[in-house]
């Protein structure tokens, strides 16, 4: 599938603008945007554990320090999301605190009943391919948009933890070691515990004789307020700000952006993040030059802003789609973007007016 380079983007979006405006409300058109997601837990005990897990967790100390690198605090963002043909599912995004827009791991936690009515926390790794994986960043903040194409073919079960519930949380450990080749290990075990606003994890890599190779120490996390700002528009547009500081863009300014766009099936359809790609430059507000969702979606950006847009189909290419970009009718679109630079608009200087002359014959006041 050909990718759209930046020079083509302006032409395609401009010529397809009429597709972003619904002519009517066709009976076969999907809903404007998904309703807020409410988890349907299978029983009250699983519901309690799922709700206790959900939230933002920040490590109490930096993780990964080595060779002079001080490491970084780690942020776990966990939220219930709908997953095809599975119940009791939560999305887990793991990111460095200084790179919330680029989590280095995505997984699904599934809570289920095991033998003798035990509760099992099953970890499922998400495999979409490296160019599509970052599309998943931020879905813990907008779970209603979680891509429903992520079925069994995208999910790989990697470990089961048997949980022992308590009044304010649980403890859990691996039912069986899981195979791994990370760090020269042969297999690994995992453990986790939660009590109120404290969470800990402990992964240990083992060699073929069962001797520890790495890990073996708890990483402690504390519950935090959300670190990602979420703005929901009445149109269904969702804007996530991972980082946004400084003077906001004003009318007439020119934005220089890096961006990537995905379809709802996680397929990347456009990007200017490859080496050598130029920045995408446009005047703010973009108005009719770009799809409708980009006008409110770029509001308030500043130099260094890192943002994610969830754009409903009416504010993308509407009921016609965009065949040249392999975008079907009624397709919502997802964009990540980063502001590299802003050319500030300077209004033209006032033109000096000639000095007025007084007619000597004019009457005086």
CATH code, domain carrying 122: 2.40.128.590
C-alpha 145/C-alpha 266 separation (Å) is: 12
Cα dihedral sign for 76, 77, 78, 84? Answer: negative
State residue 334 phi and psi, 5-degree precision.
-130, 130
Is the CB of residue 75 less than 8 Å from the CB of residue 58? yes
Quote the mean pLDDT of the chain: 88
Whether 217 and 233 share a structural domain: no
Question: Residue 356 domain-assigned?
Answer: no
Whether 110 and 201 share a structural domain: yes
Give the pLDDT of residue 232.
96
> HSE-up of 15 (CA within 13 Å, CB side)?
9
- Could you say which residues of the chain have pLDDT below 70? 1-27, 65-68, 351-365
Question: Residue 11 domain-assigned?
Answer: no
Whether 116 and 202 share a structural domain: yes
Give the pLDDT of residue 355.
64
Domain boundary among the residues 193, 224, 255 is at 224
Question: Residue 81 domain-assigned?
Answer: yes
| Nearest of 6, 112, 54, 13 to residue 317 by alpha carbon | 13
Question: Residue 162 domain-assigned?
Answer: yes
Whether 76 and 97 share a structural domain: yes
CATH code assigned at 251: 3.10.50.40
The token pair at 111 is 């809570």
- Structural domain containing residue 291: 228-343
Give the pLDDT of residue 171.
98
Question: Residue 134 domain-assigned?
Answer: yes
C-alpha 199/C-alpha 362 separation (Å) is: 88
Whether 119 and 88 share a structural domain: yes
Instruction: Please write the tens of the pLDDT for every residue from 302-311.
Output: 999 999 999 9
Strand 219-224 and strand 212-215: the pairing is unpaired
Whether 235 and 262 share a structural domain: yes
Whether 243 and 218 share a structural domain: no
The token pair at 241 is 């700000």
- The domain total for the chain is 2
Give the pLDDT of residue 160.
97
Whether 49 and 176 share a structural domain: yes
Whether 300 and 238 share a structural domain: yes
Whether 78 and 168 share a structural domain: yes
Is the CB of residue 306 less than 8 Å from the CB of residue 275? no
Is the CB of residue 13 less than 8 Å from the CB of residue 291? yes
Whether 206 and 78 share a structural domain: yes
Give the pLDDT of residue 148.
85
Whether 219 and 245 share a structural domain: no
């Amino acid at each position: 599938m050909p990718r759209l380079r930046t020079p083509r983007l302006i032409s395609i979006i401009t010529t397809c603008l009429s597709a972003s405006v619904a002519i009517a409300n066709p009976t076969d058109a999907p809903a404007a945007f998904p309703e807020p997601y409410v988890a349907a837990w299978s029983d009250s005990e699983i519901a309690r554990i799922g709700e206790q897990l959900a939230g933002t967790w920040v490590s109490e100390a930096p993780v990964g320090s080595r060779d002079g690198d001080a490491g970084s605090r780690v942020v776990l963002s966990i939220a219930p999301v709908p997953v095809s043909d599975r119940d009791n599912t939560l999305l887990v995004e793991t990111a460095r605190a200084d790179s919330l827009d680029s989590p280095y791991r995505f997984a699904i936690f599934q809570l289920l009943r095991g033998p003798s009515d035990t509760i099992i926390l099953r970890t499922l790794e998400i495999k979409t391919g490296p160019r599509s994986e970052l599309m998943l960043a931020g879905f813990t903040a907008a779970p209603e948009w979680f891509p429903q194409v992520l079925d069994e073919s995208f999910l790989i079960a990697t470990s089961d933890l048997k949980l022992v519930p308590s009044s304010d949380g649980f403890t859990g450990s691996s039912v069986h070691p899981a195979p791994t080749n990370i760090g020269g290990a042969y297999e690994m075990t995992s453990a986790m515990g939660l009590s109120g606003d404290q969470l800990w994890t402990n992964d240990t890599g083992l060699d073929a004789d069962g001797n520890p190779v790495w890990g073996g120490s708890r990483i402690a996390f504390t519950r935090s307020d959300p670190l990602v700002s979420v703005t929901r528009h009445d149109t269904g547009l969702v804007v996530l700000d991972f980082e946004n500081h400084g003077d906001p863009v004003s009318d007439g300014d020119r934005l220089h952006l890096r961006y990537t766009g995905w379809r709802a099936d996680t397929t990347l359809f456009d990007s200017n993040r490859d080496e050598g790609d130029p920045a995408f430059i446009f005047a703010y507000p973009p108005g009719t030059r770009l799809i409708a969702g980009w006008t409110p979606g770029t509001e308030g950006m500043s130099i260094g802003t890192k943002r994610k847009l969830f754009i409903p189909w009416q504010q993308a290419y509407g009921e016609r789609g965009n065949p040249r970009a392999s975008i079907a009718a009624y397709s919502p679109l997802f964009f990540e973007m980063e502001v590299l630079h802003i050319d500030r608009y300077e209004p033209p200087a006032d033109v000096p007016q000639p000095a007025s002359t007084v007619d000597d014959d004019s009457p005086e006041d």
